[in-house]
Amino acid sequence: MTEKNPTQATAGPRLVHDAVSPAAPILAPSASSPRRWALRVAVGAGLLIAGAVALTEHRRAAALEARVAELAVALADARTEIAARRQHLEAIRSSVAEMRDRVGALETLAGADPAPAPAAPKATPAH
């Protein structure tokens, strides 16, 4: 049997006793391995990418909100113009209706006998 050297460190996680409760051993953090560094780098890169995507989406949303505001103004202007054109068309319709009434009155007047027929001449007494 080979003897173990008590000063030689073991290859796994080492047990450390907590100062508050020395009977309960806890695992001490082992030296960082390349896997942990790779994981940390991957998590950091993921966070950076997520932040960049979030920033891009925020900018895109802000641009879309500005576009919506522009379109809302354009829509309000279009509605105002439509209302003005409707009023104008209504004024034209009423003018046309008035003109029809006048033309109808003129046609009635033109169809009427302009002057009564002259009465037959009366017989004049002979002299």
Residue 83 lies in a domain: yes
pLDDT band at 118 (very low <50, low <70, confident <90, very high): low
Give the whole-angstrom CA distance, residue 13 versus residue 25: 12
Q: What is the pLDDT of residue 60?
A: 98
Structure tokens, 4: 């173990």
Instruction: Answer yes or no: is 57 within a domain.
Output: yes
Percent of the chain scored above 90 by pLDDT?
54
**Considering the entire predicted model, what is its pTM?**
0.46
How many structural domains compose the chain? 1
- Residues β-bridged to residue 16: 26
In this prediction, residue 1 carries a pLDDT of: 47
The domain in which residue 90 lies consists of 37-110
